[in-house]
Amino acid sequence: MNNQNEAKKASESAVEMRYLVMPNHTNPQNSIFGGVVMSWIDMAAAMVAERHSNRPVVTVHVDDISFKAPIRIGDHVLIKASLNFVGKSSMLVGVKVIAENPFTGISRHTTTAYLAFVALDDIGRPIKVRPVIPESDEELRRFQEGKQRIEEMKKKNIKKE
């Protein structure tokens, strides 16, 4: 097992998953149910958080999810998830969903989401998480935006209490 205090590159935790949209995933308009996409997003994002922390994780917040285009029966769905930011015990994962028509080769960005996770210790309490190392300009941009998103989430939670 890796040293839990040692920083880890964002690329080391990234996950890509693929699904084929079947009739049982869709609504009467033959497009995928939003809840199905959200469950796939949550699964991919949780895997990223687990890979980074080497610990069990729980979803604590879905900061934003946008459905930009429908996903149809027969589409191939690519889910790309990567670690954007790490706080003391929280991790923010960004997820991009791309639908591909396997017959035309046309792909389109259909969904974007941001989810926050907390790693858990052996008795289920939040535990400190190793830092993340953003390497590329894109990862650095996502890190800065992620930091702002986490700060906004904290402000919203304080106002609720």
Annotated domain spans of the chain: 8-160
Q: Which helix (H) or strand (E) holds 145?
A: helix 137-160
pLDDT tens string 113-136: 999 999 999 999 999 999 999 999
Residue 160's pLDDT band (boundaries 50, 70, 90)?
A: very low
Read off the DSSP letter of residue 23. Answer: G
Across all residues in the chain, what is the average pLDDT?
92
Residue 67's pLDDT band (boundaries 50, 70, 90)?
A: very high
In the prediction, which pLDDT does 49 show? 98
Hey, what long-range contacts does 109-112 have (CB within 8 A, 24 or more apart)? Answer: 109/68, 109/69, 110/37, 110/67, 110/68, 110/69, 110/70, 110/71, 110/77, 111/37, 111/41, 111/65, 111/66, 111/67, 111/68, 111/71, 112/64, 112/65, 112/66, 112/68
Residue 2's pLDDT band (boundaries 50, 70, 90)?
A: low
pTM across the whole model: 0.90
CATH number of 8-160: 3.10.129.10
pLDDT tens string 68-112: 999 999 999 999 999 999 998 899 999 999 999 999 999 999 999
27 to 43, 82, 111: CA distances (angstroms): 21, 29, 17
Is the per-residue pLDDT at 161 higher than 50? Answer: no
pLDDT tens string 19-35: 999 999 999 999 999 99
Residue 4's pLDDT band (boundaries 50, 70, 90)?
A: low
